[in-house]
A and B are shown apart, each in its own frame.
Chain A
Amino acid sequence: MAHDSVPDTQIAPVCPWWDAQKGGCYAPERLISYKLSVQQLVQKFTDSLLRDWGCRLVTAWSLDPVGGILVLTAVSGADKALLAAVHLDCAKHLSGVTVDERVVKYFKDVREPYPDGRQFGDRDLIKALGLRSMISVPVLNTANPNQVLSVINLFPQSGSPLNQELTPFYGRQLEAVGDHLAIKLETCLMDASVAFANRLRIDLIKLGAGKRYPERQCKVVARLVEKAVECNAVGVFLETPDEKGIELLADVGGVYRQDRPRNAASGPAYAVWKSNREVLSLDLRQEKDLDVEVICSNTQEHLTGAHIALRDVEGKPRGVISCINRSSDSSHQQIRPFTFEDVAIVSAIGQAFAQQMEILLADRQRLESLTKLAHELRVPVVAFRAVLERLQTECARSKYVFPYNHFEEMTIYTDVMRRLLTELDFIRLDPARIPMEFKATPFLAVIVQPARRFVEPLLRKKGLAVGQIRHEGLDGFPRLYLDQALMTQTVFNLLDNAIKYYHGDRRAFHMMITGTVLSDCYEISFQDNGPGVPKGLEEQIFEFGVRGHAAHGDDVAGEGIGLWFAREVVRRHGGSLELRRNANPTEFVMCLPRSLQYRPPDLATAGEEES
């Protein structure tokens, strides 16, 4: 092949859409792993080509994702001393293949410079190694043949079959070599991308935590995808409840709301959901031979996109993430085509999201059931309390006296039911959404005394007496702004816990509630001589659903909610509840701010520690 048939030597930039300011198509975090992966892989590849194809020298040039130019990434066949003296630079040296042709090429004599003055290699290197002909093999992106990932230049030895004009047979063989490296590179990049996506998944979980509604979750995912693959519009579609179609739940970039109906019964996203596969949309003119479905028609040639199915753990499609790039000019030269690497990243995010959605939906169903149950339970509880009160009044009017105090027993149990409903609300709702009513309250008379009465049935059941719960210092407290029902429940829970887990000598049981006025708070200490809290569980016992080790072995009812509830309530009062001592005696300490003497807590700041 004559030199004048060698195309223009202008190599950089290979891809005009690769905007250096944006750091290329690869997000900055991905650059380092990208470069390392490429160098290691390509070096191994050139080593094997040198051996297998009888070459004197093999060089490889690979795309620098930032500069958008080809840079030398591997050399095989030259010793280190020689290479140390050589600096191959794409500005001075030809890589061999140009962007426009992207086919295997044969160059007869590399000693002659190219007409623009550039050399095929370093002159000293060519001389030292006695190089003559060169075969240049492009390594093309399998999804986007316009993108040159690498160029391999083989300098055959004198006896090599490559040392002549290429025959169709060798041409195809060498194309296969290029494809082989392309697949290896893409696999390697995909692995790196999935690792990158896995890091994003952690972000996703962090970002998504606490967001109860799919719309918000979808928005989080859309933003994450937008950042990860640097596209300019993302839509997240989820399956409709009847599983007959998909609907757009969130988008960024604003493409969808304007141009597409919310419920998609057709179109690319719908097709992807229906067929359960990924689709790359390539905005290329030479797309006929691609083994991917092309979804953009010619009339939409200013868009490129990737549509990725969201699958549940069984692999069933539950939605689609659509990424779109739009050209900023009519020539659409600035559009970045999507690659399988992008698909791998979005798929990994999608997979994490789909799994999270399943958990979320299950959680929603659980909450809906709890809400329904809580509402249904309230009616009989309210009715029962109303009837009981009436019965008590009518008996009193007729002067009928029962031999035992049935009414008190029934009142206590209905009260237990009422308080359990309050706890149920705390479980099903965010505690911050529980309404609170603060009233100036005498702590001893309105909080502690009722709580002591409420634990009476349990005390009697265990052969204990209410007199074994004593108090001191509380009558010195002023009235504090408290939610009476919730604070009584809190004190009840602390007493109930101490009594429930006590298994010692009945006469020895004692519990002391001590009130102390400190400079910054009202401190209420609850001491008991029960089995205590195992070391290491001091904080865990306040977590939702956590019970002490001893509790699991005991035949004691409980769900590990009482202390969690108590701490939440105290925090909502602007105070704190801590375990001060594990055992002998066990001591819980509640601190309520002094300001409660004058005003209710500021709910905007109360409890912010946990939020």
Chain B
Amino acid sequence: MDSKRVLLVDDEIVPGAIPGEGNYMWYYAQALRDAGFEVVEVTGPDAALETLDKPHEPFCVITLDIMMPPGKTFAETDTQQGLRTGLLLLDKITVLCPQVPVLVLTNVNNAKTVGELRGRPNVKAVLFKPDYTPYMLVEEVRKVLEPVG
């Protein structure tokens, strides 16, 4: 895959915020940029689907948070207090861009959810945030993009 665009979906992202303004996801995005990736940061399901719905340059990887507010997209759906928002969004992402590998980057440490995620063919890894620093995420993205074999 030639693209070096990464879509970062996480409700902790504060659009336009710089370090010192309470946006720790900046460090993850910056580590990816340092590694030569173009990063598009979106804060939740509404923004993610808006980005993917309209014509766009392809993404090489999507990183996805799991526990997020439902937004307008899932306002009428039972997201179990946001715990399943990421899973529901993943369904839509799978339909919109089935070929793009997804890395789940989450604080959700629940065997059932993690098991469900690992069963999805486009989910390449489930990364538990406290275990993965920004540069470790970069390594995981690189691993996903490595040609098979």
Chain A residues close to B by CB (< 8 Å): 375, 378-379, 381-383, 385-387, 389-390, 393, 418, 421-422, 425, 429, 432-437, 485
Contacts of B47 in A (CB 8 A): none
Contact A379 B112 (CB under 8 A): no
CB–CB A432/B111 < 8 A: yes
In the bound assembly, the distance between CA atoms of A421 and B131 in angstroms comes to 11
Contact residue among B30, B111, B129, B135 (Cβ-Cβ distance under 8 Å from A434): B111
CA distance A13 to B43 in the complex (A): 77
Q: Which 7 pairs from chain A and chain B are nearest by CB?
A: A383-B24, A435-B114, A386-B27, A435-B111, A382-B129, A418-B130, A389-B133
Q: Mark B114-138, 1 if CB is under 8 A from A, else 0.
A: 1100000000001011110111000
CA distance A389 to B110 in the complex (A): 27
In Å, the complex CA distance between A276 and B128 comes to 50
Chain A residues within an 8 Å CB radius of B12: 379
B134 and A390 form a contact (CB under 8 A): yes
Chain B residue at minimal CB-CB distance from A434: B111
Q: A385-B130, A385-B133, A437-B126 are in contact. List 16 more A-B contacts (CB 8 A).
A: A375-B107, A378-B107, A381-B130, A386-B24, A386-B28, A386-B133, A386-B134, A387-B27, A389-B135, A390-B27, A393-B34, A393-B135, A418-B130, A418-B131, A434-B111, A435-B109
* B130 in complex: contacting residue of A421, A434, A435, CB < 8 Å: A421
Pairs across A and B, CB under 8 Å, 17 listed: A375-B107, A378-B130, A379-B12, A382-B107, A382-B130, A385-B130, A387-B19, A387-B24, A389-B133, A389-B134, A390-B27, A390-B30, A393-B135, A429-B110, A433-B110, A434-B109, A435-B115
Q: Is the CB of B109 within 8 A of A382?
A: no
| Cα distance A433–B19 in the bound complex, in angstroms | 35
In the complex the two chains form, is B19's CB within 8 Å of A378's CB?
A: no
Q: How far is the CB of A382 from chain B (nearest CB, A)?
A: 5
CB nearest neighbor in A for B114: A435
Contact present for A389 and B27 (CB under 8 Å): yes
SS class, residues of chain A in contact with chain B: helix
0/1 string, B87-128, CB within 8 A of A gives 1 = 000000000000000000001011111110000000000101
- Of all chain A residues, the one with the shortest Cβ separation from B34 is A393
B135 contacts which chain A residues (CB < 8 A)?
389, 393
A289 and B130 alpha carbons, distance in the complex (Å) = 71
Q: B134 touching A425 by the CB < 8 A rule?
A: no
- Is the CB–CB distance between B129 and A378 below 8 Å? yes
> Which residues of B, 1-53, contact A by the 8 Å Cβ criterion?
12, 19, 24, 27-28, 30-31, 34
Which residues of chain B are near A375, meaning CB under 8 Å?
Answer: 107
Residues of B contacting A387 with CB < 8 Å? 19, 24, 27
Residues of B contacting A436 in the complex (Cβ-Cβ under 8 angstroms): 111
A418 to B136, CA, bound (A): 15
- Contacts of A425 on B, CB cut-off 8 Å? 109
List A contacts of B114 (CB < 8 A): 435
Residues on the B chain within 8 Å of A433, using CB: 110-112
A420 to B110, CA, bound (A): 17
Least Cβ–Cβ distance between B37 and chain A, in angstroms = 16
**Residues on the B chain within 8 Å of A390, using CB:** 19, 27, 30-31, 134
A390 to B112, CA, bound (A): 33
Bound-state Cα–Cα, A545 to B107, Å: 26
Docked Cα-Cα span, A385 to B34, in Å, equals 17
* A418 nearest CB neighbor, chain B only: B130
| Chain A residues within an 8 Å CB radius of B115 | 435
Compute how far the CA of A248 lies from the CA of B131 in the bound complex, rounded to whole angstroms.
Answer: 43
Residues of B within 8 Å of A379, CB to CB, are: 12, 24, 107
User: Which residues from A are CB-within-8-Å of B134?
Assistant: 386, 389-390
Q: How far is the CB of B133 from chain A (nearest CB, A)?
A: 5
> Which residues on the B side are within 8 Å of A432 (C-beta)?
111
- Cα of A287 to Cα of B64 in the assembled complex, Å: 68
Chain B residues within an 8 Å CB radius of A389:
27, 31, 133-135
- By a CB distance below 8 angstroms, the chain B residues around A393 are 34, 135
- Within the assembled complex, what's the spacing in Å between the Cα atoms of A544 and B47? 45
Nearest CB in chain B: distance from A325 CB, A? 38
- Please name all residues of chain A whose beta carbon is closer than 8 Å to the beta carbon of B129 when the two chains form the complex: 378, 382
Shortest Cβ gap from A463 to chain B (Å): 31
> Which among B30, B109, B112, B114 has the greatest number of chain A C-beta atoms within 10 A?
B109
Instruction: Indicate the member of B31, B111, B115 with the most A CB atoms within 10 Å.
Output: B111
Nearest Cβ on chain B to A397's Cβ, whole angstroms:
10
Q: Given that A386-B27, A386-B28, A387-B24 are known contacts, is A485 also in contact with B131, CB under 8 Å in the complex?
A: yes
Contacts of B24 in A (CB 8 A): 379, 382-383, 386-387
**Interchain nearest-CB distance for A472 vs B (Å):** 30
State the CA gap A390–B114 with chains docked (Å). 28
* A297 → B minimal CB distance (Å): 40
Nearest CB on B from A312, distance (A):
28
B-side contacts of A421, CB under 8 Å: 130
Task: List the B side residues contacting A382 at CB < 8 Å.
Answer: 24, 107, 129-130
* Shortest CB distance B107–A (Å): 5
Q: Counting chain B CB atoms within 10 Å of each CB, which of A378, A386, A387 scores highest?
A: A386
Best-surrounded residue of A390, A433, A485 (most CB of chain B within 10 A) = A390
Closest Cβ–Cβ distance, residue B68 to chain A (whole Å): 13
List chain B residues, Cβ under 8 A from A378.
107, 129-130
CA distance A500 to B73 in the complex (A): 52
Across-interface contacts of B109 in A (CB, < 8 A): 425, 434-435
When C-beta atoms are compared, the residue in chain B nearest to A377 turns out to be B130
CA distance A437 to B131 in the complex (A): 12
In chain A, what residue has the closest Cβ to B130?
A418
Complex alpha-carbon distance, A433 and B111, angstroms = 5
CA distance A476 to B134 in the complex (A): 34
Asked if residues A435 and B27 are in contact (CB atoms below 8 Å), the reply is no
Chain A residues positioned under 8 Å from B30 (CB to CB): 390
A395 → chain B closest CB, angstroms: 14
Q: How far is the CA of A383 from the CA of B110 in the complex (A)?
A: 21
- How many Å lie between the Cα of A432 and that of B115 in the bound state? 12
CB distance from A5 to the nearest CB of B (A): 73
B138 CB, min distance to chain A CBs, angstroms: 11
Q: How far is the CB of B145 from chain A (nearest CB, A)?
A: 20
Q: Which B residues, 66 to 81, have Cβ-Cβ distances below 8 Å to chain A?
A: none
Cross-interface CB contact of B110 among A385, A386, A418, A435, cutoff 8 Å: A435
The answer for the CA separation of A429 and B133 in the assembled complex, in Å, is 25
Q: Which residue of B lies closest to A380 (CB)?
A: B24
**How far is the CB of B128 from the nearest CB of chain A, in Å?**
8
